[in-house]
Amino acid sequence: SLTLGIVGLPNVGKSTLFNALTSNEALAANYPFATIEPNVGVVPLPDPRLDRLAEMFDSAKTVPATVSFVDIAGLVKGASEGQGLGNKFLANIREADAICQVIRVFDDPDVVHVDGRIDPSSDIETINTELIIADMQTLEKALPRLEKEARTHKDRRPALEAAQRAKEILDEGRTLFAAGIGKDDPELRELNLLTTKPFLYVFNADEGVLTDESRRAQLRELVAPADAVFLDAKVEAELVELDAESAAELLESIGQTEPGLAALARAGFHTLGLQTYLTAGPKEARAWTIRQGWTAPQAAGVIHTDFERGFIKAEIISYDDLVTAGSMADAKSAGKVRMEGKDYVMSDGDIVDFRFNV
Ligand code: GDP
């Protein structure tokens, strides 16, 4: 499954946040795989639609979609020079599908900031610079080879030109993603450049920032169009240890309506370009994770590969239509339930019953 790699300067709260992501015991019980890899933390994607469906279909449980975060320790200035942790760091980050940078905006005289002061834009620039340098090194190695290939194979010219354009962008100190070149760019994909990955920013804040709307707007603007999440990593680590009632009290006492991890899950999902479709029955009401743009058979394959191979058709109703109709029977008689074929492109919130041959 797709993952976000957590990065950040030392002492910004990465470990604290990651502990919160991994010590969610209720979650570990539902998702035993979540505890297999020590460096992977899994958060459920909050989805109020599931509770509603469980009511309607009398489901025994709800199973939300999840988002996975990988702890990528050890970014320091100079990582791209390949000293010590550097190479391993870059290899790990290369495997992540998106990058989640934790940025410190909490004040605490007892916690040293590596650069001696709280300065989010300088933290972002430090990380960007390391990733840009790493990509420039990749390109400098690849360009002579691409030039040679393009001389003998015309069809390699677009790859060469894309690499040259990428180098110009990086030379200007910009990331490829900021220049509109994503990781699915057909010509550059083979180079797996780090700055093509989408970014998500987590501002590790204290109550002062969390409740200061204009400060948050300022920080949001600093990273736009990337998603920004505001949370207090220390509070998040406490929240996962509490029962629902005490957790709600703690949140209220700091003026929050939901845990920061919920917002983080949503933003992570969005940054990865994912969406969900839903199934419901007596056993469970469940959200399934797919990429945006996937067709019905691809979506069926997430449940079981046999479903994709033997796909015949899908009975689909949108969540909103079902809720408006009140019940599946009423939705059917109102003509809101559609039969879709193999070319149907899924929408978020489709409730699906697949028909297939085995
Ligand atoms: P890392 O080096 O990025 O992994 O940072 P850590 O998670 O180890 O945190 C560094 C220090 O900052 C620890 O002493 C944490 O307890 C503290 N810390 C982390 N998050 C917060 C926060 O939101 N507020 C405050 N005041 N301290 C925090």
Q: Which atom of ligand 1 is nearest to the CA of 110?
A: 14
Name the nearest CA neighbour of 212 among 248, 255, 249: 255
Whether residue 286 has pLDDT greater than 80: yes
Q: Which atom of ligand 1 is nearest to the CA of 102?
A: 3
Cβ-in-10-Å burial (0-12, 13-18, 19+) of 123 comes to: buried
Regarding the beta carbon of 8 and ligand 1, being less than 6 Å apart is answered yes
Name the nearest CA neighbour of 138 among 195, 76, 86, 77: 195
Angstrom distance (rounded) from CA 160 to CA 152: 12
Give the tens place of pLDDT for each residue, 239-258. 999 998 999 999 999 888 89
Q: What is the pLDDT of residue 255?
A: 84
What is the average per-residue pLDDT within 93-113?
A: 86
Q: Which atom of ligand 1 is nearest to the CA of 233?
A: 23
Give the start-to-end residue ranges of the domains of the chain.
Answer: 1-47+65-274, 293-356
Q: What is the pLDDT of residue 84?
A: 46
Whether residue 36 has pLDDT greater than 60: no
Q: Whose CA is nearest to atom 15 of ligand 1?
A: 13
What is the average per-residue pLDDT within 300-308?
A: 91
Whether residue 27 has pLDDT greater than 70: no
Q: What is the pLDDT of residue 305?
A: 87
Q: Whose CA is nearest to atom 18 of ligand 1?
A: 13
Task: State which H helix or E strand residue 98 sits in.
Answer: strand 98-104
Whether residue 67 has pLDDT greater than 50: yes
Angstrom distance (rounded) from CA 279 to CA 285: 6
Band of pLDDT at residue 238, cut at 50, 70 and 90: very high
ipTM: 0.93
Whether residue 49 has pLDDT greater than 80: yes
Q: Which atom of ligand 1 is nearest to the CA of 205?
A: 23
Q: How far is the CA of 109 from the centre of ligand 1 (A)?
A: 12
Report the residue among 6, 7, 11 best suited for mutation to probe ligand 1: largest number of ligand atoms under 8 A from its CB: 11
For domain 293-356, give the CATH number: 3.10.20.30
Q: What is the pLDDT of residue 24?
A: 66
- Could you give the residue ranges of the DSSP H alpha helices within the chain? 14-22, 25-30, 48-57, 86-95, 120-152, 157-171, 207-210, 213-223, 233-239, 244-253, 260-271, 296-303, 305-309, 319-325, 328-333
What is the average per-residue pLDDT within 182-209?
A: 92
310 φ, ψ (degrees, to nearest 5): -100, 15
Band of pLDDT at residue 188, cut at 50, 70 and 90: very high
Whether residue 76 has pLDDT greater than 90: no
Regarding the beta carbon of 233 and ligand 1, being less than 6 Å apart is answered yes
Give the tens place of pLDDT for each residue, 309-345. 999 999 999 999 999 999 999 999 999 999 999 999 9
The annotated binding site is made up of 11-16
Regarding the beta carbon of 14 and ligand 1, being less than 6 Å apart is answered yes
Regarding the beta carbon of 313 and ligand 1, being less than 6 Å apart is answered no
Q: What is the pLDDT of residue 66?
A: 92
Question: Could you give the C-alpha distances from 347 to 88, 139, 291, 315, 319, in angstroms and in order?
Answer: 38, 38, 10, 13, 10
Q: Using an 8 Å Cβ cutoff, are 346 and 275 in contact?
A: yes
What is the average per-residue pLDDT within 296-316?
A: 93
Whether residue 29 has pLDDT greater than 60: no
Band of pLDDT at residue 307, cut at 50, 70 and 90: confident
| Lookup result for tokens 């760019």 | 185
Q: What is the pLDDT of residue 82?
A: 55
Whether residue 141 has pLDDT greater than 70: yes
pTM: 0.88
Q: Using an 8 Å Cβ cutoff, are 97 and 6 in contact?
A: no
Report the residue among 9, 14, 15, 16 best suited for mutation to probe ligand 1: largest number of ligand atoms under 8 A from its CB: 16
Strand-pairing partners, residue 353, are 315
Band of pLDDT at residue 115, cut at 50, 70 and 90: low
The annotated binding site for ATP is made up of 11-16
Lowest mean pLDDT among 52-61, 70-79, 288-297: 70-79
Would you tell me the crossing angle of helices 213-223 and 120-152 to the nearest 10 degrees? Answer: 20
Mean pLDDT of the chain: 89
Q: Give the right CATH number for 1-47+65-274 from 3.40.120.10, 3.40.50.300, 3.40.50.170, 3.40.50.920.
A: 3.40.50.300
Angstrom distance (rounded) from CA 329 to CA 140: 62
Q: Using an 8 Å Cβ cutoff, are 271 and 4 in contact?
A: yes
Give the total residue count for the chain: 358
